[in-house]
C-alpha cells in the first residue's frame, strides 16, 4: 500500500470519527433530557416518619401486619380491622415504614413529597372511634389516603412541586380534603407530581419537580416514564405505599399515570368533586379524582371525597349487551387494540370503530392562555408568597440549577399570553357537541381507548373517565384501557370498568 493511500485512509477515518462525534454532540444538545436519579429532601420525609414510629418495633410490625396491607383492597383491610387482625394505627405505621424503606431510600421511587406529622395520632383516633361505636362510618374510614401536592392542606405544605412554595401552608384544607376527613380518612401525606401539573418546561420529564426531584416508574425506573402529572399518586398506590391516592387531571393527568403504573384511575364528571382549594392549570377543565388498585377502591375513595352515594354492588356482566365505541389512532399498538376488541366481544359487548379528530379539539395547547390569571387568582385567594407569575419567574432565575433544572419556557409563554379563555370555551363546547353527537348516532353506552390516547375529548367536555389495567405490551410497558361515559353516568362507568376488570385481571404487581 502506497504512503499516499495510507494517508488518505487515515484522513477518511479521522473525518468519519469527527462526523460521528459531531452527530452525538448534536443529539445530546438537542434531544430532550431523560430521567435521572434525583431526590431532594428525603431526610425531611424520613425524619417525619421516624418521629411517629420511634416507639414501634418495626421488625415485628412488618413481620406480623404487612400481610394485611400489601395487595389488599380497602374492603379486605376493613375486614381485617373488624376481625382484630390489624388496627388503623398499625395500618398507618406499615404505610409509613414502606414509604421510608422503598420510596425514600437511595434510588427509591421518590413518589412522596411530604408526610403528615400527625398521621399516627389521627389513626389512633379512628381506632378509638370504632371501639366506641362498633363500626366505621364510611368505607374510607381509617384508611390512609395521599394527596397530589397541588391540593391544599392546612397542616402540610402545598407546593405544586415548586421549590418556591416548599414551605407554603394554606390556611385551610381544600374542600375534598375536608370531606375526606369528615368521612374518617387518615391523610397520610402528599405525593410528588410533574411540577405545576406538568406545565413548566417543554423538556422536563414527567414526574419531576424542583421541590422533590424525579419520581420513577417501579416497573422500569428511568426506562419507563411514570407519566404525568399525577405521577407520584399512581406510583404510591402501585408500590403499596398507600391504599388510595387523589390526583388531578386537565387532560390525561390521572388516566395516563394510572395506565403507566398498572392501577385504576377515575376522573369523575367535572364538578362532581370540588375543585375548591386546588392550584389550577385550566380552572374551567381541571378535575380531581382517585387512583386505586381496583375499581371498587376508587369508588370508595370517590364517595369519601364527595359524599356521593355509589352502589358498590357492581355487576360483573355489566358490559354484556352494551355498545362500546373503540377510538384508535394510527400510532396505537394494533395488537393491543385487537385484544381489546376481542375481550369486549367475549364479555358480550358490541364494539363499533369510531373516530375523534385529534386536531379538532385541544386542551394542553391552550393552557398558556389563562395560566397566569388562574395562578394569580389562586395566589391572591390562598396567600402564595409570590403573588404574580412574573415574581415566580424571577425567583426561579436566581437559582436555576435547582429551581428550573429543565428551564421554564412554558411559564414564560404563559406570562406573555393574553389571558382570555375564548379558545378554551370553544374547545369545551366543540368536544361536548362532538361526543354528544357520537353517543346519540352510534347509540353508545361508552367509548374505550388505549391508555390516554383519546383523553382530550372527554377531558374538555367534562365526561367521566376510568382507566383499568390491561397487562403490558410486547416491551413490558404497563397498559391501561380507558372508558368514558356521558356526564353524570359515573356509576354506570364504574360498572363497565368493574366488569372489564373482573374478567381481564390485567393489573401487574411488583
Mean pLDDT confidence for 171-179: 98
Look up residue 202 and give its three cell numbers.
417543554
Residue 328 a catalytic site member: no
Confidence of residue 26 (pLDDT cuts 50, 70, 90): very low
Please report, rounded to a whole number, the percentage of residues in the chain having pLDDT higher than 90: 91
Output the pLDDT for position 25. Answer: 32
At 168 the three-state DSSP class reads: coil
Angle between helix 74-82 and helix 295-306 axes, rounded to 10 deg: 80
- Contact at 8 Å (CB) between 212 and 162? no
Angle between helix 334-346 and helix 490-504 axes, rounded to 10 deg: 100
Which is the catalytic residue, given 166, 225, 227, 229?
Answer: 229
Q: Which of 126, 182, 185, 188 is nearest to 156 (CA)?
A: 188
H or E element: which one contains 458?
Answer: helix 456-461
Whether the pLDDT of residue 336 is over 90: the answer is: yes
DSSP 363-380: SGGGHHHHHHHHHHHHHH
Which is the catalytic residue, given 253, 259, 272, 499?
Answer: 253
Whether the pLDDT of residue 270 is over 60: the answer is: yes
Output the pLDDT for position 176. Answer: 98
- Contact at 8 Å (CB) between 372 and 389? yes
438-481 confidence digits (pLDDT tens): 999 999 999 999 999 999 999 999 999 999 999 999 999 999 99
Mean pLDDT confidence for 233-250: 98
At 238 the three-state DSSP class reads: helix
Whether the pLDDT of residue 414 is over 50: the answer is: yes
H helices of 191-230, in order, are: 195-198
Output the pLDDT for position 13. Answer: 59
User: Which residue do the cell numbers 436566581 mark?
Assistant: 398
Cis peptide before 229 (omega within 30 of 0): yes
H helices of 134-290, in order, are: 175-182, 195-198, 231-238, 255-260
Question: 430, exposed or middle or buried, with CB in 10 Å at 0-12, 13-18, 19+?
Answer: middle
Whether the pLDDT of residue 19 is over 90: the answer is: no
Q: How far apart, in whole angstroms, are the C-alpha atoms of residue 243 and residue 221?
A: 21
Output the pLDDT for position 104. Answer: 98
H helices of 240-286, in order, are: 255-260
Confidence of residue 27 (pLDDT cuts 50, 70, 90): very low
H or E element: which one contains 220?
Answer: none
Whether the pLDDT of residue 33 is over 50: the answer is: yes
**pTM higher than 0.85 for the full model?**
yes
Q: Answer with the residue of higher pLDDT: 24 or 146.
A: 146
Q: How far apart, in whole angstroms, are the C-alpha atoms of residue 397 and residue 391?
A: 10
Which is the catalytic residue, given 72, 100, 148, 293?
Answer: 148
Whether the pLDDT of residue 437 is over 50: the answer is: yes
H or E element: which one contains 484?
Answer: strand 478-484
Output the pLDDT for position 32. Answer: 53
Whether the pLDDT of residue 367 is over 60: the answer is: yes
DSSP letter at 101 equals I
Q: How far apart, in whole angstroms, are the C-alpha atoms of residue 250 and residue 248?
A: 7
Residue 360 a catalytic site member: no
Q: Answer with the residue of higher pLDDT: 280 or 9.
A: 280
Please report, rounded to a whole number, the percentage of residues in the chain having pLDDT higher than 70: 93
DSSP 33-69: P-----B--HHHHHHHHHHHHTTS-HHHHHHHHGGGT
Output the pLDDT for position 9. Answer: 63
User: Which residue do the cell numbers 405490551 mark?
Assistant: 473
Mean pLDDT confidence for 102-121: 98
Q: How far apart, in whole angstroms, are the C-alpha atoms of residue 53 and residue 307?
A: 32
All domains of the chain in start order, with CATH? 42-306 (3.90.1300.10), 323-362+423-504 (3.40.190), 366-421 (no CATH)
- Contact at 8 Å (CB) between 110 and 215? yes
Residue 229 a catalytic site member: yes
Phi and psi angles of residue 208, each rounded to the nearest 5 degrees, phi first: -100, 140
Confidence of residue 69 (pLDDT cuts 50, 70, 90): very high
Look up residue 168 and give its three cell numbers.
407554603
Mean pLDDT confidence for 47-60: 98
Phi and psi angles of residue 469, each rounded to the nearest 5 degrees, phi first: -60, 145
User: Residue 415: which region, alpha, beta or left (left: phi > 0; alpha: psi -120 to 50)?
Assistant: alpha
Whether the pLDDT of residue 52 is over 90: the answer is: yes
User: Which residue do the cell numbers 370504632 mark?
Assistant: 130
Q: How far apart, in whole angstroms, are the C-alpha atoms of residue 158 and residue 413?
A: 24
Output the pLDDT for position 341. Answer: 98
Strands 350-354 and 323-327: parallel
Confidence of residue 132 (pLDDT cuts 50, 70, 90): confident
Q: How far apart, in whole angstroms, are the C-alpha atoms of residue 288 and residue 266?
A: 9
Mean pLDDT (the chain) is: 94
Look up residue 424 and give its three cell numbers.
378554551
Whether the pLDDT of residue 109 is over 80: the answer is: yes
Amino acid at each position: 500500500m502506497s504512503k499516499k493511500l495510507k494517508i488518505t485512509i487515515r484522513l477518511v477515518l479521522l473525518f468519519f470519527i469527527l462526523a460521528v462525534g459531531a452527530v452525538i454532540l448534536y443529539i445530546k444538545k438537542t434531544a430532550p433530557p431523560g430521567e435521572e436519579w434525583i431526590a431532594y429532601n428525603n431526610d425531611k420525609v424520613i425524619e417525619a416518619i421516624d418521629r411517629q414510629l420511634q416507639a414501634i418495633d418495626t421488625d415485628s410490625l412488618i413481620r406480623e401486619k404487612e400481610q394485611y396491607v400489601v395487595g389488599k383492597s380497602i374492603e379486605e383491610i376493613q375486614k381485617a380491622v373488624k376481625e382484630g387482625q390489624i388496627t388503623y394505627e398499625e395500618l398507618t405505621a406499615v404505610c409509613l415504614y414502606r414509604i421510608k424503606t422503598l420510596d425514600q431510600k437511595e434510588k427509591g421511587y421518590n413518589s412522596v413529597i411530604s408526610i403528615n406529622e400527625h398521621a399516627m395520632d389521627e389513626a389512633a383516633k379512628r381506632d378509638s372511634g370504632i371501639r366506641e361505636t362498633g363500626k366505621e362510618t364510611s368505607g374510607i374510614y381509617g384508611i390512609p389516603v395521599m394527596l397530589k401536592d397541588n391540593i391544599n392542606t392546612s397542616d402540610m405544605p402545598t407546593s405544586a412541586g415548586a421549590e418556591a412554595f416548599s414551605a407554603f401552608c394554606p390556611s385551610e384544607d381544600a374542600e375534598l380534603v375536608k370531606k375526606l376527613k369528615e368521612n374518617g380518612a387518615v391523610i397520610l401525606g402528599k405525593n410528588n407530581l410533574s411540577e405545576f401539573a406538568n406545565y413548566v418546561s417543554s423538556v422536563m420529564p414527567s414526574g419531576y419537580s424542583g421541590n422533590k426531584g424525579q419520581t420513577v416508574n417501579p416497573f422500569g425506573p428511568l426506562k419507563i416514564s411514570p407519566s404525568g402529572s399525577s405521577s407520584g399518586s399512581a406510583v404510591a398506590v402501585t408500590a403499596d405505599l398507600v391504599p388510595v391516592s387523589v390526583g388531578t387531571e386537565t387532560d390525561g393527568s390521572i388516566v395516563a399515570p394510572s395506565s403507566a403504573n398498572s392501577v385504576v384511575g377515575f376522573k369523575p364528571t367535572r364538578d362532581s368533586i370540588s375543585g375548591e382549594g386546588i392550584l389550577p392549570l385550566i380552572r374551567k377543565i381541571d378535575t380531581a379524582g382517585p387512583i386505586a388498585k381496583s375499581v371498587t377502591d376508587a369508588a370508595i375513595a370517590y364517595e369519601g371525597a364527595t359524599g356521593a352515594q355509589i352502589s358498590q354492588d357492581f355487576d360483573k356482566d355489566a358490559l354484556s349487551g352494551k355498545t362500546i365505541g373503540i377510538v384508535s389512532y394510527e400510532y396505537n399498538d394494533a395488537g393491543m387494540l385487537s385484544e381489546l376488541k376481542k375481550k369486549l366481544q367475549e364479555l358480550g359487548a358490541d364494539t363499533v370503530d369510531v373516530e375523534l379528530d385529534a386536531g379538532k379539539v385541544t386542551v394542553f395547547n391552550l393552557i398558556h392562555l389563562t395560566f397566569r390569571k388562574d395562578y394569580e387568582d389562586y395566589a391572591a385567594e390562598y396567600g402564595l408568597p409570590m403573588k404574580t407569575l412574573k415574581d415566580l419567574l424571577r425567583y426561579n432565575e436566581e437559582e436555576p440549577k435547582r429551581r428550573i433544572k429543565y428551564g421554564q419556557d412554558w411559564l414564560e409563554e404563559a406570562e406573555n399570553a393574553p389571558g382570555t379563555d375564548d379558545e378554551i370555551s370553544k374547545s369545551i363546547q366543540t368536544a361536548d357537541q362532538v361526543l354528544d353527537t357520537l353517543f346519540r348516532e352510534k347509540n353508545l353506552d361508552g367509548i374505550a381507548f388505549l391508555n390516554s390516547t383519546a383523553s382530550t375529548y372527554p377531558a374538555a367536555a367534562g365526561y367521566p373517565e376510568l382507566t383499568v389495567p390491561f397487562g403490558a405490551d410486547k416491551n413490558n410497558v404497563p397498559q391501561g384501557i380507558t372508558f368514558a361515559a356521558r356526564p353524570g353516568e359515573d356509576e354506570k362507568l364504574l360498572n363497565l370498568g368493574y366488569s372489564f376488570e373482573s374478567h381481564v385481571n390485567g393489573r401487574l404487581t411488583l
